[in-house]
Structure 1
Amino acid sequence: MQTSFTPAQLADPDTRESNTILRSCVHCGFCTATCPTFVLLGDELDSPRGRIYLIKDMLEGGRPATEQVVRHVDRCLSCLSCMTTCPSGVNYMHLVDHARSYIERTYTRPWPERLLRRALGLLLPYPGRFRLAMRAAGLARPLRRLVPGASMTAKRLRAMLALAPTRLPPATTTQGPQIHKAEGERRGRVALLTGCAQKVLAPSINEATIRLLTRMGLDVVVTTGQGCCGALNHHMGQHDPAMALARANIDAWTREIDGEGLDAIVINASGCGTTVKDYGFMFRAEPGEQPARAAAVSALAKDISEVLVQFDYAPTRAANGLEVAYHAACSLQHGQKITAAPKQLLARAGFKVREPAEPHLCCGSAGTYNLMQPDIAAQLRARKLENLRRTGAGLVAGGNIGCLTQLSGEGGLPAVHTVELLDWMAGGPRPDGVVEPQVA
Structure 2
Amino acid sequence: MQTNLSEQAKQLPRAEEAERILRSCVHCGFCNATCPTYQLIGDELDGPRGRIYLIKQVLEGNEVTAKTQLHLDRCLSCRNCETTCPSGVQYHNLLDIGRAVVDAAVPRPLAQRVLRESLRAVVPHASLFKGLAQIGQVFRPLLPASLKTKLPRTASAAKPRPEPHHARRVLMLEGCVQPGLAPNTNAATARVLDRLGISVTPIHEAGCCGAVDYHLNAQEQGLQRARQNIDAWWPAIEQGAEAIVQTASGCGAFVKDYGHLLAQDPAYAEKARRVSTLAKDLVEVFNAEPLEQLGVHADKRLAFHCPCTLQHAQKLGGAVESVLARLGFGLTAVPDSHLCCGSAGTYSLTQPELSKQLRDNKLNALESGKPQVIVTANIGCQTHLNGAGRTPVRHWIELVEEALN
For the criterion TM > 0.5, the same-fold answer is: yes
Which of 227, 234, 248 lines up with 2:228 in the alignment? 248
Which of 265, 274, 296 lines up with 2:274 in the alignment? 296
CA contact (8 A) 2:78 2:340 kept: yes
CA distance in 2: counterparts of 1:227 and 1:331, whole angstroms: 19
- Once the two structures are overlaid, the 10-residue window that deviates more, 339-348 or 378-387, is 339-348
Corresponding residue SS for 1:94: helix
Corresponding residue SS for 1:314: helix
Shift of 1:423: 2.3
Task: For 1:173-188, list aligned pairs within 5 A.
Answer: 180-182=163-165, 186=167, 188=168
C-alpha spacing 1:266/1:414, structure 2 compared with 1 (3 Å): same
Cα deviation code 1:33-59 (max 9, x no counterpart)? 100000111110000001111111112
- Gaps in structure 2 of 5+ consecutive residues: none
CA contact (8 A) 1:324 1:397 kept: yes
Q: 1:277 maps to which residue?
A: 256
Instruction: Say if 2:333 is the partner of 1:333.
Output: no
CA contact (8 A) 1:139 1:166 kept: no
Instruction: Say if 2:336 is the partner of 1:358.
Output: yes
Identity of aligned residues (%): 42
Q: Which amino acid aligns with 1:369?
A: Y
Shift of 1:256: 1.4
Shift of 1:412: 2.3
- Once the two structures are overlaid, the 10-residue window that deviates more, 4-13 or 193-202, is 4-13
Q: Which amino acid aligns with 1:84?
A: T
Q: 1:85 maps to which residue?
A: 84
How many residues in Structure 1 have an aligned counterpart in Structure 2?
Answer: 405
CA distance in 1: counterparts of 2:82 and 2:116, whole angstroms: 27
Q: Which amino acid aligns with 1:102?
A: V
Q: Which amino acid aligns with 2:109?
A: P
Shift of 1:238: 1.1
- Once the two structures are overlaid, the 10-residue window that deviates more, 3-12 or 31-40, is 3-12
Instruction: Say if 2:404 is the partner of 1:426.
Output: yes
CA contact (8 A) 1:322 1:350 kept: no
Q: 1:287 maps to which residue?
A: 266
Shift of 1:173: 7.6
CA distance in 2: counterparts of 1:42 and 1:402, whole angstroms: 26
Cα deviation code 1:248-300 (max 9, x no counterpart)? 11111122112x12211111100001000000011011133x10010100010
CA contact (8 A) 2:157 2:184 kept: no
Task: For 1:348-427, list aligned pairs within 5 A.
Answer: 348-427=326-405
CA distance in 2: counterparts of 1:180 and 1:243, whole angstroms: 32
Cα deviation code 1:330-372 (max 9, x no counterpart)? 1000010001221111111110111310001111111011111
C-alpha spacing 1:139/1:390, structure 2 compared with 1 (3 Å): same
Q: Cα RMSD between the aligned structures?
A: 2.0
CA contact (8 A) 1:225 1:249 kept: yes
Cα deviation code 1:210-253 (max 9, x no counterpart)? 11112211121121420010111111111122112111111111
Q: 2:53 maps to which residue?
A: 53
- Once the two structures are overlaid, the 10-residue window that deviates more, 356-365 or 221-230, is 221-230
Q: Which amino acid aligns with 2:338?
A: H
Q: Which amino acid aligns with 1:280?
A: G
